[in-house]
Structure 1
Amino acid sequence: MPNHTCTAMLHGTGLIAAIVMTATYSCRIFSLDQYGISTLSLSLLLGITLSNICSLPGSIQPAIHFSQQKLLRGGVILFGLHISIQQLLHVGAEAVAIDLIVMATLLIGGTWLGISVFGLKRDLAVMIASGSAICGAAAVIATEPVVRGESAHTSMAVASVVIFGSLAMLIYPLLYHLTGATPESFAIYTGSTVHEVAQVIAIGHGVDDNAAQTAVIVKMIRVMLLAPALLLISIWWHRNGHADKNNASPSPIPLFAVGFIAVVIINSIWTMPETLHRNLSMTGSQMLAAGMAALGLGTDIGQLKSLGTQPLWFAATLFFLLMAGGAMLTLI
């Protein structure tokens, strides 16, 4: 590799690392998680802000591309360390059934709604639907390599699920007090319908510690559904001929999704040394944040504006369907 290329990679990688470090320590110092702002979403926001107020050199594009592609996939694979099969067995069949119904209905019906009713591009509709149905920003960025989402579309999808997931933190505590639901039933409702894990934790702790634990476990089951969802989306994408239009890989099975499943299985059958598990989990989180920062650096606010308000109205509709449908399922 020529020296100037190496230097450009170092500059670009250094910029992305600086964004991730700023987002990480800002979240830690100001306890932003309790407001539903994660390191991932803040990395994206900082990347977008920097790219649109500064004139960045084109030489950093290789580092941006590397982070969007390689680091993002690696982060999704290591995300499996947060999940185990034992978590699924802990909450029982009813909670698993609710999660499955919510995920399948919102992912399939939501994608159709986004394309046919709101007139969104396919990749944007799929990413917003997966973010709403599964696990917020993490699901969006995991779906992006499958549908080869445009940077502006990915940023818009992340922004939409973060906005309405944060709104849930204001609405759900009111629902709990107004409905008089039991802590356990409301925990299942929260875990099966709220977008981000951090948001689930914040809402759950507003009820009690046991409710928070149950809500997180139910939420993690939704996260576990990410891998089969990615496989099904990839197969559907290829069968409908969208892969060729977006220069996607010829394989309908994304290898990083297989890696994600493998890590979940390993995490379920092998008790890793605590230090190794913590370090690998932290590495995976930083890789995801780097991918988000790179997406932000590749996003033009003008492109976001050109998408109009339809993506936000679509995300709002899915948010309403989550609240109403999840409540009906939990009552049943």
Structure 2
Amino acid sequence: MPDTSPSFRFPLLAQTMRTHFKVLFPGIAVSVIVAATAQFLAEHYATPAMLLALLLGIAVSFLGEEGRTVPGVAFSARAFLRLGVALLGVRVSMTVLAGLGLPLILLTAGGVVATILFGLWVARFFKQEWRFALLTAGSVAICGASAAMAIAAILPRDKNSEQRLIFTVMGVTVLSTIAMITYPLLASLMEFDHIQAGVFLGGTIHDVAQVVGAGFSISDETGDTATLVKLIRVSMLAPVVLVASLMIRARLETATEGKQPPLLPGFVIGFIALAVLNSLSLIPPAVSDFLSACSRWLLLIAIAAVGMKSNLKQVLSVGGAAIGLLVTETIFIAGLILLGIAALT
């Protein structure tokens, strides 16, 4: 009879962990190196770090296809993604968001829901399936690349899963960068005040970093408002993923489109828990800033790993219809928020 005493189990567990670490380390290391390189280039050439990490990852995609790095790259793309999304919860504070007032909160949250529903509806005209529609509409409506990775984690997987995610991350990052440059000019042409401009920028631009850049390029007041409005959209990530997960499970009960996702993914539970703790001021500001930085780095490493797992030819094969869908969703949320601003002012 084998020895099952604690003195026997602990060395065995330690040995197993060391074995797993040795297997995963090469892939994790190259993912970290690619992410760090992207961050360095982003800081020196004013280019979105997410986009650079993805492109650099694609450039060394052979590391995710064969050799000792494959297991660690796959682990980074999966585990770091979920942990990074969970840590996004520290950015959400309901007490701070409440200061914007109910009408603006409803406008922003309504814009998120309406954009996702619009994307699911309009996708049929672009001959795109519901998986891609949910992925693109969710990323446009909520928080760009981060939302795309969170939604991808709950979608049933098939042979095109990685390609859809990579295309969506590239697309929303490029569109978000274009918006960061052009939307402040549009706000100026429409003679928006600081509050109106902040609501427009925060309610329409996809990625958080680009919202901050666009807002503070106008004024500090606009930047603060834009950031708060953007955080409302970020806070919608958990309920959107939860509802989508429930709907996907119901759909898969009568269809064989892949393995069912969990009822409530662990990373969503983590996001909600951190958001609640932060809203109750139970997380010190220094810890919150640290966890927020960790989240950003984990997502950067994850997207670098996703790039290394990709096939560029397959990514580019999505075609013009997919680009059209992403642009249409972007135009829709911009028009909707503009109409809301006109109605409220």
Conserved in 2, the CA contact under 8 Å of 1:77 and 1:257? yes
Please give the residue correspondences for 1:1-332 in structure 2 after superposition, counting only pairs within 5 Å: 1=16, 6-32=21-47, 37=48, 39-51=49-61, 57-114=66-123, 116-148=124-156, 150-241=161-252, 244-249=256-261, 251-332=262-343
Q: 285-294 or 266-275, which moves further after superposition?
A: 266-275
TM-score relative to the length of structure 2 = 0.88
Which secondary structure does the structure 1 equivalent of 2:127 belong to?
Answer: coil
Distance 1:122 1:55, change over 3 A: closer
Conserved in 1, the CA contact under 8 Å of 2:131 and 2:155? yes
TM-score relative to the length of structure 1 = 0.91
The 1-side partners of 2:17 and 2:97 are apart by: 50
Conserved in 2, the CA contact under 8 Å of 1:160 and 1:311? no
Post-superposition offset of 1:330:
0.9
1:164-192 per-residue CA deviation (whole Å, 9 max, x = no partner) reads: 11121232122122211222112111111
Q: Which amino acid aligns with 2:182?
A: I
Q: Which amino acid aligns with 1:211?
A: T
1:10-58 per-residue CA deviation (whole Å, 9 max, x = no partner) reads: 21111111011112222233343xxxx1x33322121112216x79534
Distance 1:58 1:2, change over 3 A: farther
Which secondary structure does the structure 2 equivalent of 1:247 belong to?
Answer: coil
Q: Which amino acid aligns with 1:212?
A: G
Larger Rg: 2
Q: CA RMSD in A?
A: 2.1
Gaps of 5+ in 1: none
Conserved in 1, the CA contact under 8 Å of 2:65 and 2:309? no
Which secondary structure does the structure 1 equivalent of 2:259 belong to?
Answer: coil
Post-superposition offset of 1:126:
1.0
Post-superposition offset of 1:121:
2.9
Post-superposition offset of 1:328:
0.6
Q: Which amino acid aligns with 2:176?
A: G
Which secondary structure does the structure 1 equivalent of 2:218 belong to?
Answer: coil
Post-superposition offset of 1:207:
1.9
Query: How many residues get paired?
Result: 324
Post-superposition offset of 1:148:
3.9
Conserved in 2, the CA contact under 8 Å of 1:83 and 1:224? yes
The 2-side partners of 1:326 and 1:274 are apart by: 31
Conserved in 2, the CA contact under 8 Å of 1:87 and 1:221? no
Q: Share of identical aligned residues, percent?
A: 26
Conserved in 1, the CA contact under 8 Å of 2:112 and 2:142? yes
The 1-side partners of 2:18 and 2:87 are apart by: 32
Conserved in 1, the CA contact under 8 Å of 2:78 and 2:302? yes
The 1-side partners of 2:295 and 2:174 are apart by: 24
The 2-side partners of 1:2 and 1:278 are apart by: 30
The 1-side partners of 2:192 and 2:64 are apart by: 53
Q: 275-284 or 287-296, which moves further after superposition?
A: 275-284
Conserved in 1, the CA contact under 8 Å of 2:64 and 2:70? no
The 2-side partners of 1:179 and 1:22 are apart by: 39
Conserved in 2, the CA contact under 8 Å of 1:87 and 1:220? no
Which secondary structure does the structure 2 equivalent of 1:147 belong to?
Answer: coil
Post-superposition offset of 1:4:
8.1
Distance 1:64 1:148, change over 3 A: farther
The 2-side partners of 1:174 and 1:266 are apart by: 38
The 1-side partners of 2:64 and 2:329 are apart by: 37
The 1-side partners of 2:291 and 2:192 are apart by: 38
Distance 1:22 1:229, change over 3 A: same
Which secondary structure does the structure 1 equivalent of 2:340 belong to?
Answer: helix
1:218-247 per-residue CA deviation (whole Å, 9 max, x = no partner) reads: 011110011101011111111111885222
Conserved in 2, the CA contact under 8 Å of 1:12 and 1:63? yes
Distance 1:244 1:84, change over 3 A: farther
